[in-house]
Amino acid sequence: MSAPSYSRRGFLALAGAGTAAVALAGCSIGGKKASPVPADGAEVMAAEAARKRAGAGVKDVAITAAPFTVDLGGLTSPTWAYGSAVPGGEIRVKAGDLVRARFTNRLPQATTIHWHGIALRNDMDGVPGMTQQVVPPEGTFEYEFTAPDPGTFWFHPHVGLHLDRGLYAPLIVEDPAEPGRYDREYTVVLDDWTDGVGQSPEAAMEDLRAGRGPHAAHQAGGGPRSDVLNSAGGDVSYPLFLLNGRHSSAPVELAVRKGERIRLRLINAGADTPFRVAVGGHQMTVTHADGFPVVPVTVDALIIAMAERYDVTVTVAGDGVFPLIAVAEAKADEAMAVLRSGSGAVPDPGVRPAELNGRMLELSDLVAAEPVRLAAAKPDRTYKVALGGGDAGYVWTLNGKPHGQNKPLEVRQGERVRLDFTNSTTMFHPMHLHGHTFQIINPGGVAGARKDTTIVRPNEPVSVEFIADNPGQWMIHCHNNYHQEGGMMLTLSYVTDRPLTSAERASPLGLVCDWLAPNIG
């Protein structure tokens, strides 16, 4: 069986609109008939209205996705980008602000924008065929949503392998109550790069499906491994790794002063690469995980998987030049920036500061800061999410089947929901839930960090809990773009007892049960 592709599913969803009324009636929860909450349903609008704050600001931005030739540091690469930059221009708002982004698609393919990590209204979430229709070439779409929580977020397409081109940018939501225990901040975006320099992402996917490349090697027990991830580092070979759009031989320089406390907002925008990050001659104090504050923890190094964010502070130790190094974990090469507080030559990209092998951040080190910590409570509903696949044909599964064939996880608004991830594959997977920030539940029921993406290592279960307070239809998926495209997705479906209106039944959105009708019990 071949993996369903996004375009195929998108087509089915759009083409299936006429049969929606029949299929929607087929959803059930706990044996009781119920309807999926439409992406633009009344429940979604009520949740958005509740997020609105008096006096909130409005941020109007225009975003164009288009072909662009990027200079990666004396090496140019044709690619696709948001505007004329990789990463795309940072959007900065205050918590509670309304973001209005007028999107224009000048790519030769249909695409969407997904606002990663934001608890936003479901019909702005950018999942094609589920929360919106794709934006065709030369088409436009007006994204408009309240950004309720402060933190480091980012945005990227949610179609095919578009993410593995230059289409990504930071979305920083400032905290009006920020204690501001830092003097200066920089956003640091990491990426793995092949488009325009090596093979195209689509060619890489073809290789994987045909059993060629690094994935086949590590499935056979060979190739480099990460002790920290208990896994290979990824499935694709990249010629370059980037930090803020530059390869390591032409690094960006971040100006700092001796004694200053610098906040670094680290974002991994890579498609297939976890990075091991350290600053030569310095420790890092982790203050936020996926945007949400944690009880600060000081470490020498951390691993940041695809789509994760960590905010760290570093106190500049002296006058000089310090490498901020991000080594591609269990792969060759690195991305690098330079913290410069004095004169001196740029470090050689081959530099490997001792901190890289010093005290490493563990997920279990992190505890959500008190104001964002979920109080212990018994979940109303627990679901198993079993990660599988990766064998011949490169089909990846959740709960035994690729997306389009697996059964949605149905929840009701207001429930506390627990997800128990298990991983029987030989790979680590950064698992992401849209529209919510769950809380890691460490062994013994101990509350961990709030996150929206978490690493699940082979044979090491991870449990998370969240409050189902953002109705709609949401993706749960692996943020390895190749695994995702290989089927490693599942739907979290809010359901309601109210009958859908005829307009809702006719809508091309909210067709989750339509796609999945054959598997609904």
Site for Cu ion, rule CB under 5 A: 429, 478, 480, 483
Residues 44 and 383: their CA atoms lie apart, in Å, by 23
d(CA 121, CA 160): 23
User: Does residue 9 belong to the site contacting ligand C2O (CB under 6 A)?
Assistant: no
Q: How far is residue 273 CA from its own chain's centroid?
A: 13
Stretch that binds ligand C2O, among 57-65, 75-83, 276-284, 473-481 (CB under 6 A): 473-481
Please identify, using beta-carbon distances, which residue of 149 and 235 lies nearer to Cu ion: 235
Q: Return the number of the residue (232 or 417) whose C-beta is nearest Cu ion.
A: 232
Binding status of residue 162 toward ligand C2O by CB under 6 A = no
215/477 with CB nearer ligand C2O: 477
> Do 292 and 437 meet the contact criterion of CB atoms below 8 Å apart?
yes
Provide the minimum distance between the beta carbon of 184 and ligand C2O in the complex, in angstroms, as a whole number: 28
Q: Provide the sign of the torsion angle of the four alpha carbons 327, 332, 333, 335, taken in this order.
A: negative
SS3 91: strand
Q: Give me the least distance between CB of 335 and ligand C2O, in Å please.
A: 19
Q: How far is the CB of 482 from ligand C2O (least distance, A)?
A: 14
For residue 456, which of 474, 440, 468, 445 has the smallest C-alpha distance? 440
Footprint on residues 283-312 left by ligand C2O (CB under 6 A) = 307
Beta bridge partners of 401: 398
**Minimum distance between the CB of residue 156 and ligand C2O, rounded to whole angstroms?**
6
User: 429 contacts which partner out of Cu ion, ligand C2O, none, CB within 5 to 8 A by kind?
Assistant: Cu ion
How far apart (Å, rounded) are the C-alpha atoms in residues 98 and 90?
A: 16
Near ligand C2O by CB under 6 A: residue from 229, 475, 512, 516: 475
Closest-by-Cβ residue to ligand C2O is 116
Name, in order, each residue with C-beta under 8 angstroms of 493's C-beta and a sequence gap of 6 or more.
27, 36, 37, 408, 409, 410, 411, 473, 474, 512, 513
Angle, CA of 158, 476 and 485, to the nearest 5°? 45
* Closest-CA residue to 482 (of 84, 80, 126, 214): 214
Q: Which of residues 404-433 bind ligand C2O (CB under 6 A)?
A: 432
Comparing CB distances to ligand C2O, the nearer of 367 and 475 is 475
Regarding 265 and contact with ligand C2O (CB under 6 A), the answer is no
Beta-bridge mates of residue 368: 294
Of 99 and 314, which CB lies nearer to ligand C2O in the complex structure? 99
CB of 51 or CB of 479, closer to ligand C2O:
479
Strands 98-105 and 58-71: parallel
Q: How far is the CB of 453 from ligand C2O (least distance, A)?
A: 7
Question: Structure tokens of 19?
Answer: 């049969």
Q: How far is CA 169 from the centre of its chain?
A: 12
Cβ distance to ligand C2O smaller for residue 24 or 130:
130
**Residue 114 contacts ligand C2O per CB under 6 A:** yes
Cα gap 326→189, rounded to integer Å: 10
60 with 142: CB under 8 angstroms?
no
Q: In what order do the strands lie in the sheet with 140-146?
A: 76-82, 58-71, 98-105, 140-146
- Between 118 and 367, whose beta carbon lies closer to ligand C2O? 118
Identify whether the C-beta of residue 456 lies closer than 8 Å to the C-beta of residue 419: no
Rule CB under 6 A: is residue 158 a binding residue for ligand C2O?
A: yes
Report what 116 binds from Cu ion, ligand C2O, none; CB cut-off 5-8 Å by kind: ligand C2O
CB of 205 to Cu ion, least distance (A): 14
Decide which of Cu ion, ligand C2O, none touches 158; Cβ closer than 5 to 8 Å per partner kind: ligand C2O
Q: Which stretch binds ligand C2O (CB under 6 A): 73-81, 214-222, 335-343, 472-480?
A: 472-480
- Cα–Cα–Cα angle for 377, 446, 173, nearest 5°? 85
Residue 418's region, left for phi above 0, alpha for psi from -120 to 50, else beta, is beta
Minimum distance from CB of 155 to ligand C2O (Å)? 8
Least Cβ distance, residue 2 to Cu ion (angstroms): 18
Min dist. Cβ of residue 110 to Cu ion (A): 24
C-alpha angle 241-312-147 in degrees, rounded to nearest 5: 90
The 10 Å CB-count burial string (b at 16+, else e) for 339-358 is bbbeeeebbebeeebebbee
Q: Applying CB under 6 A, which part among 226-234, 283-291, 333-341, 474-482 lies near ligand C2O?
A: 474-482
Nearer to ligand C2O, 353 or 435 (CB): 435
Question: How far apart are alpha carbons 32 and 175 in whole angstroms?
Answer: 42
Among 215, 340, 418, 477, which residue sits at the site for ligand C2O (rule: CB under 6 A)? 477
Q: Which of 340, 429, 434, 436 binds ligand C2O (CB under 6 A)?
A: 434
Pick what 432 binds: Cu ion, ligand C2O, none; C-beta below 5 to 8 Å, kind-dependent.
ligand C2O
- Please give the Cα distance from 478 to 489 (Å, whole number): 7
What is the distance between the alpha carbons of residues 466 and 25, in angstroms, rounded to a whole number?
27
- Which positions ≥6 away from 375 have C-beta within 8 Å? none
Q: Which is nearer to ligand C2O, 269 or 335 (CB)?
A: 269
215 belongs to the binding site for ligand C2O (CB under 6 A): no
- Residues binding ligand C2O (CB under 6 A): 114, 116, 156, 158, 307, 432, 434, 475, 477, 479
